[in-house]
Amino acid sequence: MASRVTWGMALVAAASALMLAGAAAGTAWLLWEADQRQQLRDEADSLAGAVEREAREERLSAADAAPEALRESAVPGVRVEVWTATRLVAATGTGPEIGREGSAARDAAADWVVHRRTLRDGLVLVIAAPANYGRRALRVFAFSLLVASPVCVAVAFVVGRAVARRATRPLIGLQSRIGGVRALEPLPPADEGDVPAEVADLEDAFRALWTRLEGTVRRERDFAANASHELRMPLARIRLLAERARPGATTDARAAIDAQVEEVDRLVRVVQSLLVLARDTSAGIPRGEAVNLADVARRVTARVLDGAAGECSFPDEAVVRGDEDLIEIAVQNLLENARKFAPGPAPVRAMLSEEGGSVRLEVITPGARIPAAQCERLFDRFYRSPEVRAQRDGHGLGLALARHVARLHGGDVQCVSLESEDARFALQLPAWSADPPPAP
């Protein structure tokens, strides 16, 4: 922002300098031309008087008296002509013939400042001064202004940078404080005491909005957490009652009880998922333990894929920092999602690798294809495409929960396959370090 303000002031200074140079040059030209015409009018009055005196003293006509009067009253640096209706009767000074009037006279006088005065006996006095004197002075004046323009721009750049830094410092400070705040924490006050009134008003408005949003988010999370906790106990009781009723039930009743227990288990998993999703990803896992992701992957693969782990490739060790139970939930959701949506008998493949400072688990579903438009929507909570809703049971929380767990650990889950490839999801977590990661 400071750079934009600085460059803006420099551009304004440059444009202003050019505009002032043009305006000053134009004004100087107009003033010079007006002064030159006034001088020519004064000279014309003086020459007209000289012709009148010469004609009166010598008892001559104006046409006969004009040559002598012009010789006696010659004006240096100008051209003077006296014309009858058809011919030039007298002229002094150097330069082209100006002429009495008409297009030829206008063409000849293009580089002259011309004044015409009518004398007696139908004579016309033409007096002209070269315009190149004024143009030369104008060029010098304009050139001097243009030479001064870079200096003006440089001064404007230096001053503008200082002003912009001072003006934007409170906004930059506000941005830094906002970026350093973790979720549901109050916005810290400004360090500077000389915050402009405009920035202070902006900060007060933002602080009020932040407080309202904080309250709304806190209420929603508390509701989800409280509702999940309140649901766990009734669900556990329903399952316990069903288990007690199973031994003495008939065959049909036992099948109904088994279906009821299965539905209760599904609801319990949903409640557990809601509890995890209610956690704030910006808070992270502050006291995570060392977790061997390879052991977790082998354990979950054996359970979810019924021991068919021939297509899985896991190293002996791939250690990350975090909560092992949560990480196991993420891995299990990815593998269950792949097993559930595999269209054919080909086994699900999983590969675990470590490169740089991260550990990456890829789960591949042979034969499944994911349109590019749905890659991100699959991670929306409770989202299930129409085709999936018609063919598979579920709640649409598996991938959303896996990504949420990954982000709690500073990682992520993404769909990394193209439309023409087998569906492939990648869980990426930061590799374990002896020093705990800084707080978000």
Neighbours of 401 (CB within 10 A): 26
Count the residues in the chain: 440
Examine the pLDDT at 329 and tell me if it is beyond 90.
no
Which pTM value belongs to this model? 0.49
CB burial readout 182-219, b (16+ within 10 A) else e? eeeeebeeeeeeebeeebeeebeeeeeebeeeeeeeee
Average pLDDT over residues 192-201: 68
Are 332 and 405 in contact by the 8 Å Cβ rule? The answer is no
Residues pairing with 361 in the sheet: 352, 427
Examine the pLDDT at 2 and tell me if it is beyond 70.
no
Examine the pLDDT at 434 and tell me if it is beyond 80.
no
3-class DSSP state for residue 63?
Answer: helix
Which DSSP symbol is given to 305? T
User: Taking each helix axis from N to C terminus, what angle separates 251-277 and 197-245, rounded to the nearest 10 degrees?
Assistant: 160
Examine the pLDDT at 274 and tell me if it is beyond 70.
no
- Using pLDDT thresholds of 50, 70 and 90, give the confidence band for residue 439: very low
Closest Cα to residue 362, out of 424, 410, 285?
424
Average pLDDT over residues 158-179: 72
Q: Which residue is associated with the tokens 């087998």? A: 422
Average pLDDT over residues 261-284: 70
Which DSSP symbol is given to 386? H
Average pLDDT over residues 13-37: 75
Mean confidence (pLDDT) of the chain: 78
Q: Which helix (H) or strand (E) holds 291?
A: strand 289-292
> Which residues are CB-neighbours of 220 under 8 A, at least 6 positions away?
none
pLDDT of amino acid 49: 87
Examine the pLDDT at 148 and tell me if it is beyond 80.
no
Task: State the Cα–Cα distance between residues 429 and 411, nearest whole angstrom.
Answer: 4
> Which residues are CB-neighbours of 21 under 8 A, at least 6 positions away?
142, 145, 146, 149
**Rounded to the nearest 5 degrees, what angle is found at the Cα of 287, between the Cα atoms of 285 and 289?**
95
Examine the pLDDT at 427 and tell me if it is beyond 90.
yes
The span from the first CA to the last CA of the chain, in angstroms, equals 26
Q: Which comes out higher in pLDDT, residue 393 or 14?
A: 14
pLDDT of amino acid 200: 74
pLDDT of amino acid 426: 92
pLDDT of amino acid 60: 83
- Out of 107-116, 129-138, 256-265, the most confident range is 256-265
Closest Cα to residue 392, out of 332, 342, 344, 349?
342
> Which residues are CB-neighbours of 117 under 8 A, at least 6 positions away?
41, 44, 45, 48, 124, 125, 127
Q: Which helix (H) or strand (E) holds 294?
A: helix 293-304
Neighbours of 300 (CB within 10 A): 21
pLDDT in tens, 81-118: 888 888 888 888 877 788 777 555 555 556 788 888 88
Are 30 and 104 in contact by the 8 Å Cβ rule? The answer is no
pLDDT of amino acid 185: 66
- List the structure tokens of 230: 């309140």
Average pLDDT over residues 52-66: 83
- Out of 38-52, 230-244, 374-388, the most confident range is 38-52
Supply φ then ψ for residue 428, to 5 degrees: -125, 125
Are 190 and 177 in contact by the 8 Å Cβ rule? The answer is yes
Task: State the Cα–Cα distance between residues 434 and 432, nearest whole angstrom.
Answer: 7
Average pLDDT over residues 158-177: 72
pLDDT of amino acid 102: 59
pLDDT in tens, 152-161: 777 777 777 7
pLDDT of amino acid 440: 45
| Residue type, position 108, single letter | A
Examine the pLDDT at 358 and tell me if it is beyond 60.
yes
Q: Which long-range contacts (CB under 8 A, 24 or more apart) does 12-16 make?
A: 12/156, 13/152, 13/153, 13/155, 13/156, 13/157, 13/160, 14/149, 14/152, 14/153, 14/156, 16/152
Question: In whole angstroms, what separates CA 100 from the centre of its chain?
Answer: 67
Task: State the Cα–Cα distance between residues 391 and 417, nearest whole angstrom.
Answer: 23
- Using pLDDT thresholds of 50, 70 and 90, give the confidence band for residue 365: confident
- Using pLDDT thresholds of 50, 70 and 90, give the confidence band for residue 308: low
Out of 134-138, 239-243, 405-409, least confident range: 134-138
Q: Which comes out higher in pLDDT, residue 51 or 437?
A: 51
Q: Which residue is associated with the tokens 């649409």? A: 396
